[in-house]
Structure 1
């Protein structure tokens, strides 16, 4: 009798507690995490896939974001294949590359304004503004999530079919913008720092266009 009890104790495995399952993120929680970012810096690799091109157009560089309500600022510094800088600051979009410089007043360009506002509002976690512009659908498994945005406002709904963003926690991994005609841009992010804090000097240099190149000296000198 004693031996049988000892044998059972030796062979019966102890019950193992099931690992806790992480709760799925809600849309409010996700946007709340974005809204809590002190700043953002990430390397990006963008592939523009167009029906007329055999191979995608590829751009690589770094993005920077400083949240500040309606005055939030976003800068995109492209390093490859050619250097360029795009700065979104308030109601203006400014660009500079080897071909020159351009400034677009977002107040006078509704399509550009909506498209630009989309990215600024996503990084800022502005759920109220996003709900006005998009029908939103979030799918999440634990901390991994995919957010699908379908434009509701003209003229963006005539240009963009959907935007899909995927990530984990507060870190964005990919962003896919699908146009109505089928062309798309897929951006992959790496080295993401969602709590980047910018010094006053960095806010000046990173969110400004580079200085204009010096004019060449007159011929004959």
Structure 2
């Protein structure tokens, strides 16, 4: 589902490459999240693979991710089926080329640029709202909110000199625990480079983050161009 796909990319956005004086993994999750809070913005490439029990071969996709504080995230899928997924103000907006939805009768409206935009109000989706908001808690470094929803296991992996760490999040309660079994995020120094989401069905989504820029600053007009889905 789209909101799981959004989380799969967003939550591994993290904080980029390490400084020479900060070569070890953060000793605690609080220290890791503190680094996330320093980002002025974020951009990266992603490669995603989804393994489904009913399919012989995994589904793959590639694209770009953009984040602008305090809570606007865009996942732009470039291949194989181009579309945008925007999260802003607790609303998810999915924009696809109008031709992709022709005759499908999908809910939503058409934008002036000819794209079809579907809106998901997270206030009405108690099953997935904690998952999507978890991503924003990670970006904003909100350990308290994460701990209220997940049992947390953060580890610095051996040897310590590798600078690698792993974060495992297991939902504490329903309805989220009916949807996903575990989120496993791993990274190097102060950056995350891999996320694996295991659903209760056994389906698994693995995302790799590449060429991350955790110091992305958006020029005047860029925010509107990137995040301004017209049918908002």
Distance in 2, matches of 1:149 and 1:173, equals 16
The match for 1:92 is: 91
Residue 34 of structure 2 corresponds to residue 32 of structure 1: yes
Which aligned pairs between 1:124-143 and structure 2 lie closer than 5 A? 124-141=140-157, 142=160, 143=163
Distance in 2, matches of 1:55 and 1:158, equals 25
Deviations 1:39-80 (A, max 9, x none): 111100111100100111111000111221xxx111100000
Shift of 1:24: 5.5
- Uncovered stretches (5+) of structure 1, i.e. residues with no partner: 1-20, 212-221
Relative contact order, higher structure (CA 8 A, sep 6+): 2
3-state secondary structure, aligned to 1:123: helix
The answer as to whether partners of 1:62 and 1:77 remain within 8 angstroms in 2 is yes
Distance in 2, matches of 1:135 and 1:186, equals 21
The match for 1:205 is: 225
Change (3 A) 1:104 1:22: closer
Distance in 2, matches of 1:206 and 1:153, equals 35
Residue 171 of structure 2 corresponds to residue 172 of structure 1: no
The match for 1:78 is: 77
Ranges of 4+ aligned residues in structure 1 off by more than 4 Å: 21-24
TM-score (norm. length: structure 1): 0.80
Aligned positions, number: 188
The answer as to whether partners of 2:24 and 2:189 remain within 8 angstroms in 1 is no
Distance in 1, matches of 2:175 and 2:81, equals 30
The match for 2:50 is: 48
Shift of 1:169: 2.3
Distance in 2, matches of 1:152 and 1:87, equals 27
Residue 201 of structure 2 corresponds to residue 181 of structure 1: yes
The structure that has the greater radius of gyration is 1
Shift of 1:96: 0.8
Shift of 1:105: 0.9
After superposition, the CA RMSD in angstroms is 1.7
The answer as to whether partners of 1:74 and 1:88 remain within 8 angstroms in 2 is yes
Distance in 2, matches of 1:73 and 1:23, equals 27
The answer as to whether partners of 2:182 and 2:197 remain within 8 angstroms in 1 is yes
Distance in 2, matches of 1:197 and 1:53, equals 40
3-state secondary structure, aligned to 2:34: helix
- Uncovered stretches (5+) of structure 2, i.e. residues with no partner: 1-22, 102-115
Residue 135 of structure 2 corresponds to residue 115 of structure 1: no
